[in-house]
């Protein structure tokens, strides 16, 4: 079983003011803390396929409606999120508390919590699946984020990111061998195969988002 993500994000202490209402200014720190990946679907932000945004984990509208004391720039409540996840999540919140994130069946888990990784896994081609034994995971998958509705894009993005890392590693390795040596040529050949696969996925991504 392939894990949803290879690294669990972790929020560092906020470097900027949390009380001036300007949550957007935290974006660079948030991007760094989330390792340039969406907190929810773990897609990488480097392909310019969409905008990455600052999501409020407890939605702003829910905070206002309930009069909860959470400033809109409170760093702990922010998630680096792709536009798709942010747009699907919107003002969904299923508990009547800002410290209880879910009731075991509906609601959310903070993506900075390591238990977020237990909710989902990936198929061998990179699609996201909920843990079959978790109603909460199924609710997040189907109702909150609708991962199934954009499965192909999730697969393409995951494969591109995996190939990018392999290609980067091979380039480093390639440069340790003399040009024209047997090892050099072997790695160059492999590099060509992976680069071609990457290119095909990239082409699909561009066409997918041009529609």
Interface residue list for Zn ion (CB under 5 A): 38, 40-41, 82, 85
- In angstroms, give the least distance from the CB of 142 to Zn ion: 15
The helix (H) or strand (E) run that includes residue 193 is helix 182-210
Q: Look at residue 54 and give its three-state secondary structure.
A: strand
Nearer to Zn ion, 38 or 136 (CB): 38
Tokens coding 20? 């001036």
Nearer to Zn ion, 26 or 88 (CB): 88
- In angstroms, give the least distance from the CB of 191 to Zn ion: 29
- In angstroms, give the least distance from the CB of 167 to Zn ion: 23
How far is Cα 211 from Cα 157, in angstroms, rounded to an integer?
A: 17
Q: Check if the beta carbon of residue 70 is closer than 8 Å to that of residue 60.
A: no
Q: Check if the beta carbon of residue 52 is closer than 8 Å to that of residue 108.
A: no
Nearer to Zn ion, 155 or 187 (CB): 155
Owner of token pair 């969409």: 50
CA distances from 197 to 119, 162, 175 (A): 29, 11, 21
- In angstroms, give the least distance from the CB of 145 to Zn ion: 7
From the CA atom positions of the chain, what is the Rg in Å?
Answer: 20
Tokens coding 160? 């591109």
Nearer to Zn ion, 170 or 201 (CB): 201
Nearer to Zn ion, 11 or 88 (CB): 88
């Amino acid at each position: 079983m392939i894990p949803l993500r290879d690294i669990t994000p972790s929020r560092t202490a906020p470097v900027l003011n949390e009380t001036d209402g300007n949550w957007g200014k935290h974006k660079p720190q948030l991007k760094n803390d989330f390792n340039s990946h969406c907190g929810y679907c773990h897609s990488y932000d480097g392909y310019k396929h969409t905008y990455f945004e600052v999501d409020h984990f407890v939605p702003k509208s829910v905070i206002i409606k309930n009069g909860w004391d959470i400033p809109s720039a409170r760093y702990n409540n922010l998630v680096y999120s792709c536009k798709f996840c942010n747009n699907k999540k919107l003002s969904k919140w299923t508990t009547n508390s800002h410290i209880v994130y879910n009731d075991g069946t509906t609601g959310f888990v903070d993506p900075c919590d390591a238990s977020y990784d237990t909710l989902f896994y990936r198929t061998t081609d990179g699609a996201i699946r909920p843990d079959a034994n978790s109603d909460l995971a199924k609710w997040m998958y189907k109702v909150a984020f609708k991962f199934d509705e954009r499965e192909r894009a999730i697969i393409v993005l995951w494969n591109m990111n995996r190939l990018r890392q392999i290609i980067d590693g091979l380039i480093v390795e390639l440069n340790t061998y003399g040009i024209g040596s047997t090892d050099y040529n072997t790695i160059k050949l492999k590099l060509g195969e992976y680069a071609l696969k990457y290119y095909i996925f990239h082409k699909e991504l561009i066409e997918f988002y041009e529609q």
